[in-house]
């Protein structure tokens, strides 16, 4: 991933979305390309045309926060897009640019205290994931809820890899796959803006781009969004349809890790199905393997 290319494509794509009418400028009939011209963005942001042209070519080195905010207003960026623009700018500052390197695997190992916290959560499915969407730990109910991902042939378990490379993702999200795919890519875009030199992330993006046209189209759109709380609908292979709400809780002591907790409305059909899934998961956890049974050792 090249941060300068990402900056250029992000600004170009956001400029193409804004019409002159949206910002109070005359349209002057049909245009060769959609959206605003560079000259119009420069006027709206209060910078010179050559300077904006330089920025759109990917050179955000030394740009002030005030100019970034002026660009965000001119391009009608939402909160997630504004934060992404600031992340892209930080990535090209010479003083903070890190060398590309592969992070040690141990950084993606969940601490015992975090696993105990997950195990103490009852009535809700909880998983720990990083910014790449790797599922690193879960409580029993979380492991059961995301069983198709944990058991996917595409390993290690990763939500984006499951969505785009495992056909069973369409069964887990039968009516919601398109939105799930959009959100997954938008979140990866956010992570890429924050960590453009993450080798594992680059490898994941390369794998998905090579093997999935659906991913390539979405990745090229440069859409970003936040995903901190909301609703999710899925069809679990064991208990059927589930309408769940989720909350995302950052693990501030662990860089880039967060807990996702899923629960259902009390008294609802989804709550009953989630309870059933939890009972099944507890039974499976108590069932010894064949090799552990006394009769197997006799």
Cα(286)–Cα(256) distance, integer angstroms: 33
For range 117-134, the mean pLDDT: 95
The reported pTM is 0.87
Q: Residue 260 pairs with which residues in a beta bridge?
A: 127, 248
26 pLDDT exceeds 60?
Answer: yes
Neighbours of 27 (CB within 10 A): 9
65 pLDDT exceeds 90?
Answer: yes
Q: Are 130 and 108 in contact (CB under 8 A)?
A: yes
Q: Where are the domains of the chain?
A: 3-91, 105-286
CA distances from 285 to 122, 128, 143, 145, 279 (A): 15, 19, 11, 14, 10
What is the CA 78 to chain-centroid distance, rounded? Answer: 17
Choose between 100 and 217: higher pLDDT.
Answer: 217
Smallest CA-to-CA distance from 123 within 274, 267, 244 is with 274
Q: Which run of H or E residues covers position 4? A: helix 3-17
Q: Residue 198 pairs with which residues in a beta bridge?
A: 101
What is the three-class DSSP state of 248? strand
What's the topology of domain 105-286? Beta-Lactamase (3.30.450)
Kindly report whether the peptide bond that precedes residue 200 is cis, defined as omega within 30 degrees of 0.
no
Residues recorded for the chain: 298
For range 26-37, the mean pLDDT: 77
CA distances from 171 to 164, 240, 280 (A): 12, 10, 20
Contacts of 54 (CB under 8 A, 6+ apart): none
Contacts 24+ apart (CB under 8 A), 14-17: 14/75, 14/76, 14/77, 14/81, 14/222, 15/41, 15/56, 15/75, 17/75, 17/76
101 pLDDT exceeds 60?
Answer: no
Cα(225)–Cα(205) distance, integer angstroms: 18
Confidence (pLDDT) at 21: 85
274 pLDDT exceeds 90?
Answer: yes
Say whether domain 3-91 belongs to CATH 1.10.260.40: yes
Q: DSSP secondary-structure letter at 134?
A: B
Q: Which of 31-45, 254-268, 277-291 has the highest mean pLDDT?
A: 254-268
What is the CA 26 to chain-centroid distance, rounded? Answer: 37
């Amino acid at each position: 991933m090249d941060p300068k290319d990402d900056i250029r494509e992000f600004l170009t794509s956001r400029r193409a979305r804004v019409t002159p009418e949206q910002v109070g400028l005359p349209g002057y009939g049909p245009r060769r390309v959609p959206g605003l011209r560079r000259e119009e963005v420069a006027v709206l942001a209060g910078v010179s045309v050559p300077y904006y042209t330089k920025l759109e070519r990917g050179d955000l080195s030394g740009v002030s926060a005030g100019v970034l905010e002026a660009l965000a207003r001119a391009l009608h960026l939402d909160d997630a897009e504004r934060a992404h623009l600031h992340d892209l700018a930080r990535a090209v500052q010479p003083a903070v640019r890190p060398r590309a390197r592969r992070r040690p695997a141990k950084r993606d190992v969940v601490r015992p205290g975090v696993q105990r916290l997950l195990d103490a959560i009852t009535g809700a499915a909880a998983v720990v994931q990083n910014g790449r969407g790797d599922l690193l730990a879960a409580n029993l109910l979380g492991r059961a809820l995301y069983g198709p991902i944990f058991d996917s042939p595409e390993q290690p378990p990763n939500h984006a890899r499951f969505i785009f490379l495992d056909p069973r993702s369409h069964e887990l999200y039968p009516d919601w796959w398109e939105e799930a795919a959009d959100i997954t890519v938008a979140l990866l875009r956010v992570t890429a803006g924050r960590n453009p030199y993450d080798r594992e992330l680059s490898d994941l993006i390369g794998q998905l781009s090579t093997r999935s046209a659906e991913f390539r189209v979405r990745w090229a759109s440069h859409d970003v969004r936040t995903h901190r709380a909301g609703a999710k609908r899925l069809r679990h292979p064991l208990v059927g349809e589930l309408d769940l709400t989720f909350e995302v809780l950052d693990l501030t002591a662990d860089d880039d890790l967060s807990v996702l907790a899923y629960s259902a409305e009390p008294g609802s059909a989804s709550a009953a199905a989630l309870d059933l899934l939890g009972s099944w998961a507890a039974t499976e956890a108590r069932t010894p393997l064949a090799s552990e049974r006394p009769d197997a050792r006799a």
